[in-house]
A and B are shown apart, each in its own frame.
Chain A
């Protein structure tokens, strides 16, 4: 296969667009089902998230008169494309399937920021003051969690390990390189530094997904969905899909960086699915047992204790623990 055709397949079919969307919507269903069980309800059937998106796709688009229409209409597409691209890189790395990786950890971190940015810019461009409040909150939330998130991920990069009497760090930003390193020295998660970093990264990923208690950017009862307030129909559907793709990407990123990724054996695949579902259930439990925080509380939480914890993990990693 020619490289271009190969990349198109990787990006559009597997493990890109089609695959991440299907996996993501399935994980959405898991989320809703577990939430329902926690709340003593029956919950939706497995196909529900798919039907929801399909229904949105059939609705009309309403453009606010005060909006910058060009950006308002195009940003959902950019956000989803970037999320899918990040997902493609992460899945390629974790399954070890492509010969040449096209991006590394830094690229993925940046690509994962674009969907949030699309929501922020879309909300600001909608011309709605409540949308702008949502954008402002979302931007501040992003600032808050990105700091500990990045530090926690870098713990895996700078984790030192004694090989033949020498302290060696992975010292790579390549996702496959990080997996290789863990193949040599064992999963980073099972070290004190890695466990702390994983916990921090998990909470940051939780905020990145906009789950309760960090849903303050949408806060239906205060600012009516915030940045998404003016979005309707297919555009809203695209944002829902973006959310699903992120749900299919972030846990995989965590597993790749901290937990050895995917071992391509039947047992390995089962274990991998178990890891993803475990992370997802952790998300759902945090989500269902906490009330929403205010933005200043969120900022203090992420820049205070969580950043301190992440830095502690980094120090431990430098010491080889």
Chain B
């Protein structure tokens, strides 16, 4: 057996094993679930420097050639390891979640591991049809995970399956078109990419783009994420829509835009436009949400816009930024979803109007979410800033000021939205309803997962050059340590100029820009330290604790509150912005709802045809046969 099979076979086999174990062996479920995820991560980490391909012929169905072909290259290697890491953290978190609660964790771990196997399969597949199969497996597991354990998860799961099903269909059609036209092998396709200048190739690209957008959740195919968020386990949201679906969607987008096709200017512009609209549209929607998980899910959509924007610029720095952002987003978004899960577990609500003052009773959750919230808002020196910075520079490189403005403004709105979250969940007076809430009901697994992710937010921001230089740069064909790596850019060497094809360096009279995250962090830390010393030398030690001052009135913690839900009332009342937000919230812009509205009359017609009489059905059969015969005679 080849090593490349390990990241697929391990979680797949363990997942199936867990599925068929008796439900009362809870401890074994947990053990196998976490162990399987750890083994997958271990395999991915060990294989990170392996490059190679294996292939077993499987089926040849009259032109449809399905080989079990796998290939590990500089891109899939770290993506697989990272997927494994996310599986480990989700599994560890799940252990805490199920502690002291009813419900069998068996299903959860089985679907989780099978989803991991599917995701690794997509990342490793070297045959287009095989990729579709694995892709479909992940969609199915998403549906099962979303519907497992909670009744309120059903509508979200159905919607997710509907929208993703559309994307998967587009993927299948696109892949079959490519296969019939050129080849079924991804390596062969990458060796001679299709120049997307004629209609048929543009169609193929667009079909695959739709699949990638639906998976990653770009507008207008995003609506399944918010709907699913309201009724699904937080850890499921963290693992699939938060992390793995983004990896897969953006993986496919990067592959089609870099390896399989050479998209023209129009297509790239379209991708960038979708990206910019996704950033702004989703973040505005997020700002006005009152349900924490739903708010986070809109940010999960909004962040995809940055990745689309970066990859759409077609510059090396943009693609590197887009991929790095995919990684960073998975980290902080998973952390935020997991934090929301802890809060829900302890308080039983996700309503921002009812939560409050949890900072002292849930310090670990707060710490992790605070870091992740700053990271997603792109506050330097955290990881979100490093990747957004690359995308900003790429917009300048591509001379696209409007997209740059959208990206920067989107970032400010993200920050605003998270100030509201932090304030309404953690700060302010603690309502009496929240008395008795405390952290730690879930054991060590939950905080461990969150704190690990928050730590990664800091490390990947301060030492951003390391992943860029060693993993992400090589994934887009840059030599490690070469002149055009993202790291070189970050270290103040603005040589990362390339023309839009990403091939020829362009001579520029002025340097692009510089960011030295290590210097930035170091100086900020020194500044804070020096100021602390100065203040300490002064009177900073003299402290007194007094109740807050509210106009001299006695303070009532239930009455004297300014809940976060009131934070952006002004924005909702603005002309133009307000009506647009109400339109978005009404669901009229959602293609899924539109399809439902259009579909209902069509279904009504079809329903009328189902009379239940054998006579009618016989008539339809005969009519069909007659048409077939007519066609055959005609040809």
Contacts and interface: CB of A to CB of B under 8 A. Distances in A.
Contacts of A193: none
B516 A127 contact: no
Interface string A68-112: 100000100110111011001000000000001111111101110
B527 A84 contact: yes
Interface-central residue, A132, A135, A233, A318, by most chain B CB under 10 Å = A132
Interface of B: 357, 359-360, 378-380, 385, 389, 392-393, 396-397, 399, 401, 404-405, 408-409, 412-413, 415-416, 419-420, 422-423, 426-430, 492, 494, 508-516, 519-520, 522-524, 526-528, 530-532, 535, 538-540, 542-551, 555, 557, 560-562, 566-568, 570-571, 573-575, 577
A63 B510 contact: no
A66 B557 contact: yes
A-B complex: 10 closest residue pairs judged by Cβ atoms? A81-B527, A173-B513, A177-B510, A104-B513, A60-B542, A172-B510, A132-B562, A128-B548, A124-B423, A129-B562
A124 B427 contact: yes
Given A110-B379, A238-B535, A135 B423 contact: yes
B520 A103 contact: yes
Contacts of B359: 68, 125
A102 B519 contact: yes
B527 A63 contact: no
Interface stretch (A33-41, A138-146, A285-293): A138-146
Interface in A283-301: 295-296, 299-300
A316 interface: no
B423 to A, nearest CB: 4
A310 to B, nearest CB: 9
Nearest to B530: A12
Interface in A57-71: 57-68
A174 B574 contact: no
Given A57-B538, A135-B423, A296-B573, A103 B543 contact: no
Nearest to B535: A234
B423 A154 contact: no
A220 interface: no
Contacts of A84: 527
A107 B513 CA distance: 9
Interface in A305-321: 314, 318
Interface of A: 7-8, 11-12, 17, 57-68, 74, 77-78, 80-82, 84-85, 88, 100-107, 109-111, 113-114, 117, 120-121, 124-133, 135-136, 139-140, 142-143, 146-147, 150-151, 154, 157-158, 168-174, 176-178, 180-181, 224, 229-230, 233-234, 238, 295-296, 299-300, 303, 314, 318
Contact of A238 (B392, B422, B531, B546): B531
A70 to B, nearest CB: 8
Majority secondary structure of chain A interface residues (helix, strand, loop or mixed): helix
A142 to B, nearest CB: 7
A85 to B, nearest CB: 5
A147 B360 CA distance: 35
A101 B519 CA distance: 10
A124 B409 contact: no
A155 B399 CA distance: 12
A47 B543 CA distance: 28
B401 to A, nearest CB: 5
A309 B159 CA distance: 43
Contacts of B426: 68
B546 A85 contact: no
Contact of A172 (B357, B396, B405, B546): B396
Contact of A111 (B380, B508, B567): B380
Contacts of A17: 527, 530
A77 B408 CA distance: 26
B548 A126 contact: yes
Given A66-B548, A103-B514, A142 B379 contact: no
A121 B550 contact: no
Contacts of A300: 574-575
A128 B527 contact: no
18 contacts: A61-B543, A64-B548, A66-B557, A68-B360, A102-B514, A114-B379, A120-B419, A124-B427, A127-B357, A127-B427, A130-B551, A135-B423, A146-B412, A147-B405, A154-B401, A234-B538, A238-B531, A303-B574
A142 B412 contact: yes
B405 A151 contact: yes
Contacts of B540: 61, 234
B419 A124 contact: yes
Contacts of B511: 172, 174, 176-177
Given A143-B413, A169-B399, A66 B514 contact: no
A137 B540 CA distance: 29
A58 B397 CA distance: 51
Given A102-B516, A107-B380, A158-B399, A64 B510 contact: no
Contacts of B538: 57-58, 234
A234 B423 contact: no
B574 A133 contact: no
A74 B512 CA distance: 35
Given A104-B513, A107-B520, A234-B538, A85 B427 contact: no
Nearest to B426: A68
A61 B544 contact: yes
A171 B396 contact: yes
A74 B531 CA distance: 10
Nearest to A181: B510
Contact of A121 (B360, B422, B527, B571): B422
Given A65-B547, A68-B426, A143-B413, A12 B526 contact: yes
B224 to A, nearest CB: 28
B589 to A, nearest CB: 21
Contact of B494 (A8, A154, A158, A174): A174
B524 A81 contact: yes
A236 B602 CA distance: 67
A62 B412 contact: no
A80 B575 contact: no
B549 A128 contact: yes
Contact of B526 (A11, A171, A173, A299): A11
Contact of A146 (B357, B360, B409, B570): B409
Nearest to B380: A110
B570 A299 contact: yes
Contacts of A143: 412-413, 416, 571
Nearest to B430: A66
A230 B428 CA distance: 13
Given A110-B380, A140-B568, A104 B515 contact: yes
B315 to A, nearest CB: 12
Contact of A85 (B420, B520, B545): B520
Given A65-B545, A233-B539, 8 more contacts: A58-B539, A80-B531, A81-B528, A85-B523, A121-B419, A130-B551, A177-B512, A303-B577
Contacts of A82: 524, 527
B36 to A, nearest CB: 39
A301 to B, nearest CB: 11
A81 B528 CA distance: 6
A113 B416 CA distance: 12
B526 A147 contact: no
Give the one of B360, B420, B545 with max A CB within 10 A. Answer: B545
A125 B359 CA distance: 9
Given A173-B392, A296-B573, A132 B513 contact: no
A82 B401 CA distance: 26
A216 B520 CA distance: 32
Contacts of B562: 129-130, 132-133, 136
A127 B548 contact: yes
Contacts of B520: 85, 102-103, 107
A140 B570 contact: yes
B513 A81 contact: no
Contacts of A113: 412, 415
A111 B510 CA distance: 23
